[in-house]
Structure 1
Amino acid sequence: MVGTANSRPCSEGVDEGRHRGGTVDYVLDHLRAGVMQGRYAPGQRLIEADLTRDLRVSRGPLREALRRLSAEGLVEMVPNRGALVRRLTLREMRELFQIRVGLEALAAQLAAQAVGEAEVRERFEREIGPIWDQTPRLAGPDYINENHRFHDAITQASGNEQLMKLTRQLRLPALMYQIVGTLKPENIAASVAEHRLIARAILDGDGQRAQELVRSHLSRALDVAEATPNQWFSA
């Protein structure tokens, strides 16, 4: 319902019924999930008027949520354009991959040491379950979610909470959605096959092999990303 001189917009009613901090968290969770699930594409402008109407919130909580997403690196604030879903430059992508290789190789090594504990092993096996499905994957949200879940399972199994935080920050969803449209079936099939090899090495407790396989996996992923046409990256 559109507000008039004699009636307040519905967004105000929602905000009044919810603590401001809770409203910010609500908007933050919605926008973050939207980026991670591909509802908001890299480079897309997040229009305040549309979001306040759709989410039924006022501009204050929305702007605070956008500020936090900017700090997380998922959104960038551009003068005279407002908030845009972040689109990485080719250099940023390369640098993120370089850091990820070291951190995730360490996570795989630690995970291989930790799976000797029954609870850790059970959780790891449960979280990576989708990788054993033989159904061919298509480029899109389902594949990206499976990919994120697999890598998260490794860092969770490592038992190192700081490592988990760092790897999540570096595994920007914007990057995957930036290049997913260019992925070929053979790229995805190769990635899934590599996930299975890494998982087996971890479950076997072979930290050295798990570490080497993760390095190889991410190096190949970097090669695929670098083959993406330049127009897919920010200038």
Structure 2
Amino acid sequence: MTWNAQWIWHPDGGLSQTNLYLYARREVVLDAVPKVARARLTACSLYRLFVNGQPVARGPAPSEASYQSYDVVDLAPFLRRGANAIALEVYHYFDVSPGIIGQNGGRGGILFQLDDGDGRALCVSDAAWRVIQAPPWDQGSAINCTLFADFKEIYDSRREIAGWREAGFDDRAWPQARALGQPPLAPWTLVERDFPRLGGETVSAVDAWVESASVTYAWREDWEVYHEQHLAPAAGRATPGKCTEVTRTHAD
């Protein structure tokens, strides 16, 4: 398997890699839509792929720590003649895990290659891509669990960048990506996903509730804080629900 793409990342070497969300995009102009448009892609740690604003795939699949899984997706149904936008939301946990188990750590990177049915590269990740830190996510959110060291996700939709997943978006103010090198490149040993991707469909919510709970265990005492919030889609805003705190102690 030949890779013409390069691993890329945000150009700011001083940017904290912990709990980091990035947006990456590139536009490709097609004279005609190929019958087959095979994308191979991955990211460390997680990605969501959009083509012309449409959600297409998410990944990569979990793999043993010494390997990096990549996905193969046919993008032909999502492409059109003329300008096409390839957009990725990417999340990176951290370089070195602060968690007890020590999983999910590693160098941040994005890899993308789109080939037609004859193996001709239509779009590859390189220094021409534009990459920016995603404004809606709070990078300073707290660790959710010290065992796995995952983070609470705080997203402010008021800071979203309108239209960035669409063709024609003006990304000239975004910094160009930093090219890290072509595969094979340490620390990533690439392996193709070996089980099917999850399917699904996009549906609109009629009503929604958000619930969260945090539990702390101590030698003599457990406590649990439970939050519930009702979202009213028709009103376009969240309506506060109830918040209760329950304290329990162990029997001697």
Question: TM-score, normalised to structure 2's length?
Answer: 0.24
Q: Hey, which of these two has a bigger chunk of strand by percent?
A: 2
Q: Hey, which of these two has a bigger chunk of helix by percent?
A: 1
Question: TM-score, normalised to structure 1's length?
Answer: 0.25
